[in-house]
Amino acid sequence: MNPGMEAPVDAGVIKRGSLLVAAGSAELTIPVEARCLRQHFDESRGQYLVAFVITRLDPAQRELLRRVIRAYLAGRHASVEELIDAEDPQTPRRSMPEGASMPASGSLWRYSLLLLASLALLLVLAVTLYRNLLLVEPDFAAVTAPRVDIVAPGNGVLADHGLTPGDRVERDQLLVNIDNRELRAELALAQAGERFNQRLIDTLKTRLADPDTQRVSLFNATRPDDYRATTFETADAGIARERVDQLEASVDFERARVNALETRLSGHRLFSPCECLVAWAVDGAGDVYVQQGDPLMTLTRTEPEAVLVEALVHMEDISRLEPHQLAFVDLGNGKEVIEARVRSIALDIERQPRAGFPHWVRQQQNVASVLLVPERPLPPHLVGRPVEVRFSDAPAFDAVAEWFLSAFNGLIGRFVSTSEGEPS
């Protein structure tokens, strides 16, 4: 259609015309019916430029126009001969005869990888179902260690010990010191009584050593705190010598009493029984008053053979377990699985106090405690960490299954970490 018109055309008016399309050395005329969209006057040409939208086009002419446009978009100029030919210039592959051919090598690789991935997923599903349905799994398991509870041996003021959870203490290291002031006062009185009686003995012996002494003044008290109620009396030398024997017996008693009180006072200084980690400690800053039996500190032993895995197994599954049975311990997220052996099975789960189990877990009924010895020592900082435990009935097959699941989980974790590390 000629876009230039000398007279204006109203918008929305439908016109009949022809599209003149160049096709090689020829020119095609395609009759169309179009509606006017907009127009504006071009002063340089002196004409109105009108924009039309085609509203009606014969199907055969539409196909002819489509092939001309596609050839133009493909970088070619369609000729009359090409338009007569049945081949589309933009997609010449469609005219190639189709026959049986081998797929490309890239397709084979894709199909092979897809098949391998499907088989791997099926194998993971089968192993997971076997592990969850056929293997014995406890209700709860955690890394534990022997627990040493430190309690107050008597009443008194707790001195600042400076220990916090996580600190390491050496064997025979001072842990807590309790100042029992009543006991110290009683010790001071006993020591004063011993010295008092010893002075009386020395005085009497000095007077009896004089051969001219016939009578001696006696002090009828054996304790310094009784001096207000004491009296003096005069007795002959024989009675004085008997009094010396009584005072010597009193000195021996006071000396024994002093030793006993000193032993009791030394018991208020508590020392570490082992190389341990402090799991919990009462705050000693500010002179805290404690009573006999109050908990002061909890220690956990850190020897390699002391850190074990403890599992609570339901009574229905105890018959399937036996000493030295193989078990698999998952330390976290399936990335690290180690082997362990059953050491003991105890129905009384409080028979040996161990740190790492919450108190409420041990209150469960119908469970037994199973201690597992790992194949390699566990670090002490893992005490208290929950773990997954699976007891094996077929060691060879279960070992292969656990290795496969660990490798698969490791690949998944590495892929996820790599994906998260890539910049978005």
Domain harbouring 290, CATH code: 2.40.50.100
Residue 110 lies in a domain: no
Q: Are 292 and 151 found together in one domain?
A: yes
Q: What is the CATH number of the domain that holds 26?
A: 2.40.10.220
Q: Are 172 and 276 found together in one domain?
A: yes
User: How far is the CA of 322 from the CAs of 175, 331, 391, in angstroms?
Assistant: 40, 22, 10
Q: Are 358 and 407 found together in one domain?
A: yes
Residue 159 lies in a domain: yes
Residue 140 lies in a domain: yes
Residue 95: per-residue pLDDT: 47
Residue 73 lies in a domain: yes
Q: Are 340 and 377 found together in one domain?
A: yes
Residue 230: per-residue pLDDT: 52
Residue 421 lies in a domain: no
> pTM for this structure?
0.52
- Which pairs with CB-CB distance under 8 Å and at least 24 residues apart come from 255-264? 255/194, 257/190, 258/187, 258/190, 258/191, 258/194, 261/183, 261/186, 261/187, 261/190, 262/187, 264/154, 264/180, 264/183
Residue (of 151, 142, 146, 150) closest to 353 by Cα position: 146
Instruction: Tell how many helices (H) and how many strands (E) occur in the chain.
Output: 6, 20
Q: Are 254 and 190 found together in one domain?
A: yes
Residue 161 lies in a domain: yes
Q: Are 55 and 18 found together in one domain?
A: yes
Residue 210: per-residue pLDDT: 72
pLDDT of the chain, 424 residues: tens digit per residue: 455 556 677 777 888 888 887 777 777 788 888 888 888 777 777 787 888 888 888 888 888 888 888 887 877 777 766 766 655 555 555 445 555 555 556 677 878 888 887 777 777 676 665 555 567 788 889 999 998 999 998 898 888 888 888 899 999 999 988 888 888 888 998 898 888 888 888 877 877 777 766 666 666 655 555 544 455 567 676 777 788 888 888 888 889 999 999 988 888 899 999 889 998 888 866 678 889 989 999 999 988 888 999 999 888 888 888 888 888 898 876 567 888 999 988 887 666 678 888 778 777 778 888 999 999 999 888 888 999 888 877 655 555 555 655 665 666 566 555 555 554 4
Q: Are 221 and 244 found together in one domain?
A: yes
DSSP state of 362: G
The residue range of the domain holding 26 is: 4-91
Q: Are 276 and 168 found together in one domain?
A: yes
Residue 393 lies in a domain: yes
Q: What is the CATH number of the domain that holds 325?
A: 2.40.30.170
Going 219 to 220 to 223 to 224, the CA torsion angle's sign is: negative
Q: For 239, phi and psi rounded to 5 degrees?
A: -65, -35
User: How many domains are there within the chain?
Assistant: 4
